[in-house]
Structure 1
Amino acid sequence: MHDIRLIRDDPAAFDAALAKRGVAPQSASLVTLDEQRRATIADSQTAQTRRNELSKAIGQAKAQKDEARAQALMAEVASLKEALPTLEADEARLSSELGDLLAAIPNLPAADVPEGGGEDDNALVHTRGTPATFAFAAREHDAIGPALGLDFETGAAMSGARFTLVRGPAARLQRALGQFMLDHVAEEGFEQVSPPLLVRDEAVFGTGQLPKFAEDLFRTTDGRWLIPTAEVSLTNIVREQILSEAELPIRFTALTPCFRSEAGAAGRDTRGYIRQHQFDKVEMVSIVTPDMSEAEHERMTACAEGVLDALQLPFRRMLLCTGDMGFTAARTYDLEVWLPGQARYREISSVSTCTDFQARRMNARYRPEGEKGTRFVHTLNGSALAVGRTLVAVLENYQQEDGSVAVPAVLQPYLGGLTLLEPTR
C-alpha cells in the first residue's frame, strides 16, 4: 500500500517509478479523489463545529427569552443534522474508493532494479558451482523419478492435473530435504514456527495476494484461504502491532505445504514436478527497521544460497527487472539451480524486500527509541528453498546411469546414513 501523502507531495516521481514497472500514470486520479475526500472531511468538521456553536447559541437565546432567535437556530441545527450523515457517507465512500485504488497498485521498484519487460531483462549477479558432466545422456527428473516413487499418474487420478503422489525413496528424500533446509535456516537465527495453513481475508490482503490475485488462490467453503506460501502466515504475526525498536529484527521460518491454483501459469510446466498445486517450501520472513532492510535482503539471500552450496548444486543469482518482480516487491533476487536434464537454470528461490508496502496494509509499526511517534516496519520474505524443485535438482544432478541417485553428503544423516537411492519400481 502506498502513502497518499507522498503521492500528493511528488506525483511526478510516483508516476515515473510506476512507469518503470510498465504501469500507467496513477497520481492524477488518486490526488483528485484524495482532494474530494479531504474536502468532504473539512465540510463535515465545519458542520460539526457549527452545530456545537449553535447549541451554545440556542442556550443563550433561550436564557434571554429570545424565542424567535432560538427557533431560527434550532432550524439550522436540524438542517445540519440532516446534512451530516450524507457527508459522513460521502467520506466513507471516497475513502473506500481511494483505498481500493491504492491497494491495486504494485510496490515501487528500488533504484538499482533494472528496467525490463520480463525474465530476459533480468541481470546476472553471480554464478556458483560447475555443472556436472555425465558419461551418459542426462535425463530429466520425470524420467528418473517414477522408479523412485514420483507417481504422476496416481496423483492426477486422485486429485487432477498438477498433483503428484510421492512415495518410497522419493518421499524419504523430500522429507530429508525439508528438514535439512529448516535446520539450516534456524541455525541462521530464524525462529521456527508451525503456522496456520488457513487464513482470513485480511491476512492475504496484508501480504498483497488480495484483491488482485484471488484467482491464484484456493478458497475453502467457509471463506478462508489456503496459504500460497508461509509468507502469509509468518508476516501477519506482526499485523496491527506496535513493536519496540529493541525487538527488531524479528526472523521467522516455517516448513509448510503451499497451495496455488496456478491460474496465471496455464500451460507452463504441465509435465513433471516443477509446478504443482500443492508443494512444500521452507519460508523465511524478516521484520526489520528501514535502515536494516538492505543488509537483511543480502543476508536472507545468502542464507538460501547456503542451502544450495551445502547440497553442492550449481546455481546463479539473478536480480529481477521491473517487469519480472512480484506485486509487493521493491527488489527481488531469484536463485536459479542448474538442471542437467533440461540443460538450463530454473528458479528455485525468490528473496524479496517489500520495504513498508506490506506493513502499511497490515498496520505493522514500531516505535523508534527516544521517539513518541511510530513508523512502519520493513518486511522481507524468501524461500530456502522450494522443496519439490530442490528434489528435482537433486535427482537430475546426482543421477546415475543405472537409474539410481546418489544422496548428497549433507542429507545422509537425515536418511540414516543412506548414500544411494535405488529404484524400487
Structure 2
Amino acid sequence: MHDARTLIELGDEAVRRLARRGYTLDLAGLEALSARRNASISRGDELRAESKRVAQEVGRAAKESGGQSPEVEKLKGRARELKDEIREAEEAVDSAEAELRRVLLTVPNLPDDETPDGDSDEDAVEVRRWGAPPEFTFETKDHVDLGEAMGILDFGRAAKLAGARFSVARGPGAVLERALASLFLALHTGRHGYTEFSVPFLVTPETMTGTGQLPKFEEDLFRTGTDDRSLYLIPTAEVPLTNLHAGEMLDAGSLPLAYTAWTPCFRSEAGSYGRDTRGILRLHQFSKVEMVRFCAAEESGTELELMVSHAEACLQALGLAYRVIRLAAGDMGFAAQMTYDVEVWLPSQGTFREISSCSDCGTFQSRRAGIRAKDPQGGRQAVATLNGSGLPIGRAMAAVLEQFQDADGSVSIPEVLHPYTGFRRIRADGTTE
C-alpha cells in the first residue's frame, strides 16, 4: 500500500507511472481526501489543547471562588461541549482515514521505469534463453494424451470428484509430482539458502490484504463462508510466508531472509476460461514450491535477479529448455514493481509458456502488512519483499512429460529425479523401469 503523502508529492509522476499499467490515479480526489483527514486531525488537536486549557481555568476559577461561581459553571459547560466536539473530531478522523485506506488499497504498485511499455505478453522483452528445444522425428503428444495413455493422469475421475479444472495423478504420476517438489525444496534449502516452512492453507482476510489479494481480487479466491470470521484458501504460499512477519519489527542485520514452502494453491481463475484449460496448466487446485525473500529496500533489484536464478536452477537441473522475459508494466501483478517470467518450452504448443513469475514488490507489501526493520542504532528501515515460483509442480510435470517423451509413448525421467522417484522411465503402459 502506498503512503498518500508520497503519491501526492510525486504528483504527475505518480499519475504517469500508474498510467503505464492501465490505472488512472485520481490525484485531485486523493489530495482532497488527505486534506480532509489532516484538517480533522488538526481540529482534534486544537480541541484537545483547548480542553486542557479550560480544565486548568476551571481549577483556577474554583479555587478563587471557593468552588462555585457563574464563571466556574460556564467553564464546566464549555468543558462538556469540548468533550462532545473532540469525540466528533475523532470520528471524523477515523472516517477520513478509513476512506483513505480504502482508496489506497486499490492503487497498484508503481512500476519500475525499466519495465517495458505495454499490457500483454506480446510486449514483454526476452532477456535470455537456456537449452535448445528438443527436436522430434515423430508426431509428439501433449501431456494430457501422454498421461492418460500411461494411466498416470485421470481427468475424468477428477471431474467426477470435483468438476472441471481438477486433476488426479496415479501411481508413477503421483510419485513424479512428489519427486519434483522434493527436488525443488532440496535445491532451495540445500543450495540456495532458503528456510523451509509448513504453513496454514487457510488464512484471514487481513493476511490476504497484506500481500494485495484483497480487496481487489476477491473474485479470484475461494472463501469458507460469508461472515467476518470466514477464512480464505491460499492462492499461493507467498501469502502466508510473507505475512509471517506482519506487524513485526525485524532486525535489519538479519536481512535478507529467504523462505520456501510446498503447498496446495487454490484459485477460482475467474475470467480465464478458454485459456490453458486443457490438462494441468491452469487448475483450480495445484501444488507449488514458492520462494519469498525479505531485504533492505535498496537491495531489492539485486535480490530479484538472485531469485530468478534460483527458479532457473530448477529447470536447468531437469534439463528443460526455457527462456526468461521481463514483463511489460501493464501485465504485471498488482503488487509488483518489476517482474521476470521464466517460460518453459512445451513441444505440444510449439512455444514457451510461463512456469515461474518472480516479482520485486519493493515496500508495497511490507507497508500493507506492517513489516519494518530496525538497525543497531535504533533507526527504522524500509523492508522490501519479493516472491517467485520455484516451481509449480503441475507445469513442471507437463514439461517433463512433453520434452522427454519417446516415439513409443514412454517418457524418460531426468536423472536428477531418479533418487526421488526410484525409477528412470515410465513406459507407455504405465509401468516403470
TM-score, structure 2 length as denominator? 0.96
1:162 alignment partner, SS class: coil
The unaligned stretches of length 5 or more in structure 2 are none
Q: Deviations over 1:324-380 (max 9, x none)?
A: 10000000000000001111110000000100000001100001232x331221000
In 1, Cα distance between the equivalents of 2:298 and 2:368? 20
1:326 alignment partner, SS class: coil
In 1, Cα distance between the equivalents of 2:84 and 2:74? 16
State the one-letter code of the partner of 1:379: T
Aligned residue among 129, 147, 150 for 2:149: 147
CA-CA distance at 1:27 after TM superposition = 2.0
CA-CA distance at 1:243 after TM superposition = 1.0
1:175 alignment partner, SS class: helix
Q: Deviations over 1:253-275 (max 9, x none)?
A: 11111111111312222221110
The answer as to 2:165 corresponding to 1:162 is yes
Q: Deviations over 1:262-291 (max 9, x none)?
A: 113122222211100111101000011112
In 2, Cα distance between the equivalents of 1:219 and 1:46? 45
Asked if the contact 1:173–1:391 (Cα under 8 Å) also holds between the matched residues in 2, the reply is yes
Matched with 1:172 is: 175
Asked if the contact 1:250–1:288 (Cα under 8 Å) also holds between the matched residues in 2, the reply is yes
In 2, Cα distance between the equivalents of 1:46 and 1:8? 25
In 1, Cα distance between the equivalents of 2:10 and 2:258? 34
State the one-letter code of the partner of 2:388: G
Asked if the contact 2:252–2:381 (Cα under 8 Å) also holds between the matched residues in 1, the reply is no
Moved more, 68-77 or 121-130: 68-77
Matched with 1:227 is: 234
Q: Deviations over 1:364-398 (max 9, x none)?
A: 0001232x331221000001111100000001000
Matched with 2:324 is: 317
Matched with 1:407 is: 413
Asked if the contact 1:363–1:376 (Cα under 8 Å) also holds between the matched residues in 2, the reply is no
In 2, Cα distance between the equivalents of 1:45 and 1:206? 31
Matched with 1:422 is: 427
Matched with 1:368 is: 375
Matched with 2:18 is: 18
CA-CA distance at 1:142 after TM superposition = 1.1
State the one-letter code of the partner of 1:173: L
CA-CA distance at 1:307 after TM superposition = 0.7
Asked if the contact 2:342–2:354 (Cα under 8 Å) also holds between the matched residues in 1, the reply is yes
1:256 alignment partner, SS class: strand
Matched with 1:386 is: 392
State the one-letter code of the partner of 2:397: L
Matched with 1:116 is: 118
Q: Share of identical aligned residues, percent?
A: 42
Aligned Cα root-mean-square deviation (Å): 1.2
Asked if the contact 2:115–2:329 (Cα under 8 Å) also holds between the matched residues in 1, the reply is yes
Asked if the contact 1:113–1:321 (Cα under 8 Å) also holds between the matched residues in 2, the reply is yes
2:330 alignment partner, SS class: coil
CA-CA distance at 1:25 after TM superposition = 2.5
Matched with 1:211 is: 215
The answer as to 2:293 corresponding to 1:286 is yes
Aligned residue among 201, 205, 212 for 1:201: 205
Matched with 2:364 is: 357
The answer as to 2:62 corresponding to 1:57 is no
CA-CA distance at 1:209 after TM superposition = 0.3
In 2, Cα distance between the equivalents of 1:257 and 1:117? 29
Aligned residue among 83, 89, 99 for 2:101: 99
In 2, Cα distance between the equivalents of 1:330 and 1:236? 19
CA-CA distance at 1:199 after TM superposition = 0.8
Asked if the contact 1:7–1:31 (Cα under 8 Å) also holds between the matched residues in 2, the reply is no
CA-CA distance at 1:46 after TM superposition = 0.6
State the one-letter code of the partner of 2:160: A
Output aligned runs, 1:60-99, within 5 Å: 60-65=60-65, 67-99=69-101
Matched with 1:137 is: 139
In 2, Cα distance between the equivalents of 1:398 and 1:57? 88
Q: Deviations over 1:73-112 (max 9, x none)?
A: 2222122122222111111111000001000000001121
Asked if the contact 2:212–2:334 (Cα under 8 Å) also holds between the matched residues in 1, the reply is yes
Task: Give the 4+ runs in structure 1 shifted more than 4 A.
Answer: none
State the one-letter code of the partner of 2:215: P
1:238 alignment partner, SS class: coil
CA-CA distance at 1:70 after TM superposition = 1.5
CA-CA distance at 1:7 after TM superposition = 1.8
1:280 alignment partner, SS class: strand
Moved more, 236-245 or 319-328: 236-245
Asked if the contact 1:169–1:422 (Cα under 8 Å) also holds between the matched residues in 2, the reply is no
